Amino acid sequence: MPSSTSPAEPARRRIRAALDDARRQLAVMRPAQLTDGSWFQLILQRSARRHVERRSRIDAVTRWQRRHPDLCHDGLMDRVVQQTTRRAALVGGTSGALISAAELAAIGTLGSTISAAFLMVLAELAVIERLQARMVFTLAELHGHRVSPDDLHDVGLLYGNVLKVKGATRAAAWARDGTVAAFRLIGVRFMQRAFVRYGVPILSIGLGSGMNYLMTRSLGRHARRSFEHRTHADAHLALIDQQIDAQEDALRRLLMALMGLMAAADGRLDRRERDLLRRTLDRLTIDGTPRDALIEALEMPEETIFESLRALGDDHAFREVVLELLALMAVSDGRLVPAEIALLDRLSGVCGLPFDEAELRARYRSFLRDG
């Protein structure tokens, strides 16, 4: 289990600084821009301009090649996606930890008054979007394409596809400037995904990490296939997207199954665990996985779950994210019983990650009543 004083701490400090910066930028926008989804296009355009400015000094491809001279072209793209997904997971956990239950109660205040918590949630989305945009731009350049801040149509279609935004393609084709209406739809969907996770404050940290990881991973994979097969027919791209979506659905079902396994480990379903399972269902359904399939995943046999976890291969980051979320679930009801400890220990072995019960108790001492 990653320690609170782990090597990731410097990254968390940088993320906190990025969240503060994003919150300041969002605070000067008009309330309508924050609530109708317009903020998404503004942040994306700024990210594109920043990328172009940085490219004038040293382009991303050269920087990645210098940093990883041992990697082939495909390996370099894999590393870009892997690093971005890890950072996206850290953003979700860091942001969740900074939003208190009291602040969450004020999120519903929209209109002319924007609550501090609302701005923090949007700041998380803005930081995630910047990370994802940088990933997409870098993947495009690795395939010989250049993204212009004045033409983000293709990036919009990628987001619309990954977020399952109905009408995004049509809006991108017909709206003024090609993407205005599409990006508003995407911005609103981005917000829906974020807010559905809050309500169980401590568990929102782990859920945010997992959801950000899965979405960023999916976006990276869609972007790679899109740039690799740009010259192919739309029907070919649609088939590739279906294959990627099927793989992402399998990961979401596995996440649901693991959460159900942990929730049932102590023989009782705590209210907070029940709330988290419901919110996870809502969030993963928004992401496009059929609700019935997710509910069926809760009945997945234990050995099938472990076998699916073993089959993840080199997806080490996903295992870390899942294990952290399950640890949070285990302590959320204020107890850590032997059955939960045994399950975490077994899961850690399957994931190839260390598990230290004493370290886990020390990290979550404020939540636990039995230690």
Both structure tokens of 28: 């000067």
Question: What mean pLDDT value characterizes the chain?
Answer: 79
Can you state the angle between helices 180-195 and 116-142, rounded to 10 degrees?
120
Q: How confident is the model at residue 369 (pLDDT cuts 50, 70, 90)?
A: low
From the list 315, 313, 327, the residue with the least C-alpha distance to 355 is 327
Half-sphere exposure of 271 (CA within 13 A, CB side): 2
Half-sphere exposure of 264 (CA within 13 A, CB side): 11
Q: How confident is the model at residue 120 (pLDDT cuts 50, 70, 90)?
A: confident
Q: Please tell me whether residue 151 adopts helix, strand or coil conformation.
A: strand
Q: Judge whether 198 and 204 are in contact, CB under 8 Å.
A: yes
pLDDT single digits (tens) 123-180: 888 999 999 998 999 898 888 888 788 778 778 878 887 887 765 555 444 444 445 6
- Provide the terminal-to-terminal Cα distance of the chain, rounded to the nearest Å: 18
CA–CA gap between residue 160 and residue 25 (Å, rounded): 24
Both structure tokens of 135: 């990933």
Tokens 């690093």 correspond to 83
- Alpha carbon distances (Å) from 17 to 68, 124, 215: 27, 11, 23
CA–CA gap between residue 47 and residue 41 (Å, rounded): 10
CA–CA gap between residue 140 and residue 153 (Å, rounded): 13
Half-sphere exposure of 120 (CA within 13 A, CB side): 21
Can you state the angle between helices 116-142 and 38-57, rounded to 10 degrees?
50
Given this model, what pLDDT does residue 179 score?
A: 56
- Of 129-133, 193-197, 225-229, 249-253, the poorest mean pLDDT is in 193-197
Most confident of 71-75, 134-138, 154-158, 228-232: 134-138
Q: Is residue 360 predicted with pLDDT exceeding 90?
A: no
- Of 55-64, 196-205, 233-242, 341-350, the poorest mean pLDDT is in 233-242
SS3 string, the chain, reads: CCCCCCCCHHHHHHHHHHHHHHHHHHHCCCHHHHHCCHHHHHHHHHHHHHHHHHHHHCCHHHHHHHHCCCCCHHHHHHHHHHHHHHHHHHHHHHHHHHCCHHHHCCCCCCCCCCCHHHHHHHHHHHHHHHHHHHHHHHHHHHCCCCCECCECHHHHHHHHHHCCCCCHHHHHHHCCCCCHHHHHHHHHHHHHHHHCCCCCHHHHHHHHHHHHHHHHHHHHHHHHHHHHCCCCCHHHHHHHHHHHHHHHHHHHHHHHHHHHHHHCCCCCCCHHHHHHHHHHHHHHHHCCCCHHHHHHHCCCCHHHHHHHHHCCCCCHHHHHHHHHHHHHHHHCCCCCCHHHHHHHHHHHHHHCCCCCHHHHHHHCCCCCCCC
Q: How confident is the model at residue 109 (pLDDT cuts 50, 70, 90)?
A: very low
Other Cβ atoms less than 10 A from the Cβ of 121: the count is 24
Whole-model pTM above 0.85? no
Q: How confident is the model at residue 113 (pLDDT cuts 50, 70, 90)?
A: very low
Cβ contacts of 136 within 8 Å, gap of 6 or more: 147, 155, 158, 219, 220, 223
Q: For 148, phi and psi rounded to 5 degrees?
A: -100, 140
Most confident of 175-179, 234-238, 253-257, 329-333: 253-257
Other Cβ atoms less than 10 A from the Cβ of 8: the count is 19
CA–CA gap between residue 234 and residue 173 (Å, rounded): 15
Q: How confident is the model at residue 268 (pLDDT cuts 50, 70, 90)?
A: confident
